[in-house]
Amino acid sequence: MGQKPDIITETGLQFFSRISASISHELKNVLAIVNENAGLLDDFTLMADRGNPIDPARLKIMAAAVKRQVGRADEIIKNMNRFAHSIDQTTSTVDLEQMFELFIALTARFAAMQGVRVDLKLPASPLKIATAPYYLMNLLWLCLDFSMSASGDEKRVELVVEETENSVRIRYRRLAGIREALLETFPSDREKILLAVLEAVLTAEPDREEVVLRLSKNIGEV
Amino acid sequence: MPAKVLIVDDEKDFLDIMAERLDARDMDVFTATSAEEALKMVLKESYDAVIMDFMMPEMDGFTALKLFKETRPDLPIILLTANVPEEKRIEAIKLGAMDVIEKPADLNLLTQKIEEAKTLKIKREYDE
């Protein structure tokens, strides 16, 4: 390789590929269920050819199952589309509620694979900030990934979004295993470069069993 | 005697329909929604084959495969997965998986593998 990509490009691509791979996995699971329903229809047709009548009630159940999977795939693809467009403009004004809903949906499979429950608590009133949405989701993911590894036996992370006078505070709470987690490797260069871009500050608070991310409400041009 | 098969998948819709289709092919089908549940089942009962999703919550496929092989070294395990890179497929085979089949699965191929597993088991029992 002639020229090494910079950390932010590399980190950003790694994040994009990780989410894309997860989405492709989910879609294949949907296709597998649709495929089995099609196969079962084939089975019924063969049985009907041999004189066994098809039960309409059974067909109704299958139709509902396929519809359910189509709805699931539609949701996955909508989220994928929103995620892909989050990098259209480096900076923009984002509604944090919408962004967090997308973030939780995109990362739900990773949490499930680790058996970690992630609870999101948003502020009561809508909150918009001028930020770099793609880089913010990337940083949120790196913090969540660390938090899940630091969730200890409780296997639970509480993600609390709060508005302060000059910033937005995002707390990754209930990290029962934070002391055992490798704090010396967090934040790494990846998180540090994203923090700089987002004009954000990250602190680990083992006594409170939490990691706190403070975001600027209005970042300058990146 | 029908092949006795245990299917393990956290996708309930997939599990149910796969069980129905294999049952219609004269197989004795049992299901589990997690590797932990399946491990308990193989400790109590003998199966001709286990068909297991490779990517399930809480326990990754390699860990589950190792535990199954520790519990029942001769148990044929067929892994199903949505996506599997070649190096992981090879690693799974090295760890003792009978085969790794990509989802959506070809049921004819799957039933063929189950029959192979059953034949192997009969042959092993006869040799003993």
Q: pLDDT tens digit string along A51-95?
A: 999 999 999 999 999 999 999 999 999 999 999 999 999 999 999
Long-range contacts of A12-18 (CB under 8 A, 24+ apart): A12/A87, A12/A134, A12/A135, A12/A138, A15/A137, A15/A138, A15/A141, A18/A141
Test B83 with A43 for CB contact under 8 angstroms: no
Nearest CA in chain A to B83: A25
Task: Report CB contact under 8 Å: A36, B18.
Answer: yes
ipTM for the complex? 0.89
* pLDDT band of A2, cuts 50, 70, 90: low
User: What is the dihedral sign for C-alpha B62, B66, B67, B72?
Assistant: positive
| Beta strand pairing call for A167-173 and A156-163 | antiparallel
Q: Which of residues 73-112 of A touch B (CB under 8 A)?
A: 112
3-state secondary structure of A119: strand
Q: Which residues in chain B are closer than 8 Å to A21, comparing Cβ atoms?
A: 83
Residue in the structure block whose two tokens are 């495929």 = A35
Q: Are strands B49-53 and A201-205 parallel, antiparallel or unpaired?
A: unpaired
Q: What is the pLDDT of residues B57-107, one digit of tens each?
A: 888 889 999 999 999 999 999 999 988 889 999 999 999 999 999 999 999
Q: What is the b/e burial string over B15-31, where b = at least 16 CB atoms within 10 angstroms of the residue's CB?
A: bbbbbebbeebebebbb
Residue A50, judged by CB atoms within 10 A of its CB (0-12, 13-18, 19+), counts as: exposed
Looking up tokens 């980190």 gives: A11
Tell me if chain B has a CB within 8 Å of the CB of A66: no
Rounded distance between C-alpha atoms, residue B16 and residue A18, angstroms: 30
In this structure, how many other beta carbons lie within 10 angstroms of the beta carbon of residue A214?
A: 18
Report which DSSP code applies to B78: E
Quick one: pLDDT at residue A222? 43
pTM for the full predicted model: 0.89
**Nearest CB neighbour to A29, from listed B11, B20, B60:** B11
